[in-house]
Amino acid sequence: VIVHDVNELTEKLFPIVEAMQKHFSAGSGTYYSDAIFFLSVAMHRIMPKEITQIIQVDLDLKYKTNIRDLFDEFDSFPEGAVIGIAREMQPVYRHTFWQYRRENPQTKVGDPPPDGLPGFNSGVLLLNLEAMRQSKLYNQLLEPAMVQKLTEKYHFKGHLGDQDFFTMVGMEHPELFHVLDCTWNRQLCTWWRDHGYSDVFDQYFQCEGEVKIYHGNCNTPIPED
């Protein structure tokens, strides 16, 4: 077991983390403003070169299968993809992108699957560190000026840390992501059902297939066996 000092890592990535916090946290002192929620976006710059792949997971998960099976997903990455991630299962980004959606009525941004772009959930992340190191495009997108440019284009102000960044980049460059099946990150939170989106909620929330990982996000109880 190797323990890493978050403050030390954040110092190494300060320009990147600072830019991310400005756009993807709800303000100083909030839960997601903590720097640890942004380290995944540049993990390839702080991990030793000999580490080529990492699975990063939230704590509020329950595994129904062997985590080794998840590592096999790295073999399914299309060329150019650097991160494996599942779709967000609530209409949170339908809400966040409301202004962009209003100005671009034909867009799929924020729409539900299978044809829409609902955004991502970072509870289960496959980081191909070697691919992240090699990808010129991905590293350009980490530059504060590029982050600023994209947030302006999409009128984006988020509060969910790294997953906001991955979601916004995914709207612009879906080729950077290998989309995991919903069964690898079966989110259980239903907050948006009761906050203005009951009419469309189930289009985002449905997930067919045998669940491999339950994600009890927003403190939702996870089903007992």
In-domain check, residue 222: no
**What integer pLDDT is reported at residue 2 of this predicted model?**
83
Total domain count for the chain? 1
pTM of the model: 0.95
For residues 56 and 79, give the distance between their C-alpha atoms in angstroms, rounded to a whole number.
21
pLDDT digits (tens, 9 = 90+) for 133-151: 999 999 999 999 999 999 9
In-domain check, residue 223: no
pLDDT along the chain (225 residues), means of 10: 85 89 80 80 95 97 96 98 98 98 98 97 98 98 97 96 97 98 98 97 98 97 91
Q: How far is CA 209 from CA 144, 185, 212, in A?
A: 39, 12, 9
**What integer pLDDT is reported at residue 32 of this predicted model?**
62
Question: Residue 55: in which H helix or E strand, if any?
Answer: strand 53-57
For residues 168 and 120, give the distance between their C-alpha atoms in angstroms, rounded to a whole number.
9
Residue 113's domain comprises: 6-215
- What is the arrangement of strands in the sheet containing 61-63, beginning at the earlier edge strand? 61-63, 213-215, 186-187
Q: Is the peptide bond before 112 cis (omega within 30 degrees of 0)?
A: no
**What integer pLDDT is reported at residue 211 of this predicted model?**
98
**What integer pLDDT is reported at residue 36 of this predicted model?**
84
Query: What pairing do the DSSP bridges indicate for beta strands 213-215 and 186-187?
Result: parallel
Residue type, 105: P
For residues 205 and 91, give the distance between their C-alpha atoms in angstroms, rounded to a whole number.
9
In-domain check, residue 200: yes
**What integer pLDDT is reported at residue 5 of this predicted model?**
86
For residues 200 and 69, give the distance between their C-alpha atoms in angstroms, rounded to a whole number.
32
pLDDT digits (tens, 9 = 90+) for 28-42: 666 666 788 899 999
In-domain check, residue 225: no
> How many CA atoms lie within 13 Å of 123's alpha carbon, on the beta-carbon side?
25
